[in-house]
Amino acid sequence: MKQTWWQRVWPLIKLGASATLIGLLWYQGKLDFSALWLLSSSPWTIVLAVLFSTASYSLGALRWIVLLRSQRIVLPLIWGHKVTYLSLYCNLVLPGGGMAGDAIRLAQVIRVAPQQRLEGFLSLFVDRAVGLYGMLFIALLAILSNPDVVTDIGPLRLMAGVVLGAVLGIPVGAVVFYHLLHFLTEKAWFVRLLASGGRFGALLGRLMDIVRLYRNALPQLLLALLLTVLLQGLLLSGLVLVAVSMELGSLTPLDYTFATPWAWMANFLPLTPGGIGVGEATFDQVCRWLESTPSGAPYGTIFLMYRLLSMLGSFPGLVIFFFDRKEVQAVVREPENGF
């Protein structure tokens, strides 16, 4: 299946938006590329940050394996690591961002479990959903650790309200949705809506599939959430190490711990490849809000350095890609094999 012109052009538009945003941050003094060399005198900080990133990716692989096994797709842990690192590398070098990596992951699941295509596809959706909920949970912990700052700054009050509502509302909404679906499936008009073939009906159908497959997998979902909190704790530790070693501005490690989850969540916005530029802008703005006295420090540089070191943590994916590049190219040429 050939890609449409929009599918070919959209990655280029996102890449241009990322370059424009990075240039704007540099022009505004929120990025200082020369400051990236400040860590050259702290090699152990670089090593630890990369190791923390690599360990977090391994926990991500374990989380996905847990979700797959909840659907009776029992695969070796080493297989999960291989596919996860391969998808991370493909996210960096192939058009489509996270979709490219997910296509690789799904293609690998279909190869080893061809009769469970639906379960494999939904495992990716649930994996991302658990990851996002974990970020919201980390953000809530950051809010609780520094409530005075949140109450003093208007934008942060709004953001805190959204996070609190999401963390508390998502589980309640999931329970309500489950019982509502159980009631509606007995109604003829609802069945006709699902069969109509429209986008809304298709979306409801996917949500019903998730409910059906994961309604008895609460222990696995809780384990996946715990793994998410652990892996994000590792990433957060790496960023704080980088921030303290670079000595930009006057913020404390607790301040950086507070600012980081907001940048992570901004990275989820599909505006640029991998959120490049968006995460840096968000991190810089929150750090500036946290300063008692404006310093003009280029805080976005800290998040950019953290991003670069996180990329180094996915280096095993480059090795795997070297041996499996023909298969990866086949998946990219035939998108229907993935999605």
Angle at 121 (CA atoms; ends 115, 122), nearest 5 degrees: 110
pTM to 2 decimal places:
0.84
Give yes or no for a contact between 234 and 56, defined as CB atoms under 8 angstroms apart. Answer: yes
Q: Tokens 């809530």 identify what position?
A: 140
φ, ψ of residue 216 to 5 degrees: the values are: -105, 20
CA-closest candidate to residue 22, choices 294, 284, 208: 284
Residues 6+ apart with CB under 8 A from 158: none
Mean pLDDT of all residues in the chain? 82
Give yes or no for a contact between 138 and 121, defined as CB atoms under 8 angstroms apart. Answer: no
Angle at 278 (CA atoms; ends 273, 165), nearest 5 degrees: 110
User: Could you tell me where the DSSP H helices lie in the chain?
Assistant: 5-27, 43-69, 77-93, 98-112, 117-145, 147-152, 154-184, 188-195, 199-214, 218-246, 253-267, 278-290, 300-313, 315-333
Give yes or no for a contact between 3 and 263, defined as CB atoms under 8 angstroms apart. Answer: no
Q: Is the predicted pLDDT of residue 336 greater than 50, yes or no?
A: no
Of 60-64, 152-156, 246-250, 320-324, which gets the smallest average pLDDT?
320-324
The span from the CA of 230 to the CA of 324, in Å, is 30
Is pLDDT larger for residue 196 or for residue 112? Answer: 112
| pLDDT tens for each residue of 29-56 | 899 888 888 888 888 999 999 999 999 9
| Per-residue confidence band for 339, with pLDDT thresholds at 50, 70 and 90 | very low
Structure tokens at 318: 């480059």
pLDDT > 70 fraction of the chain, expressed in percent and rounded: 85
| Per-residue confidence band for 324, with pLDDT thresholds at 50, 70 and 90 | low
The span from the CA of 232 to the CA of 297, in Å, is 25
pLDDT of residue 337: 46
pLDDT of residue 328: 58
The span from the CA of 30 to the CA of 280, in Å, is 9
> Hey, CA dihedral for 228, 233, 235, 236, is it positive or negative?
positive
Q: Is the predicted pLDDT of residue 101 greater than 60, yes or no?
A: yes
| Per-residue confidence band for 331, with pLDDT thresholds at 50, 70 and 90 | low
The span from the CA of 228 to the CA of 208, in Å, is 24
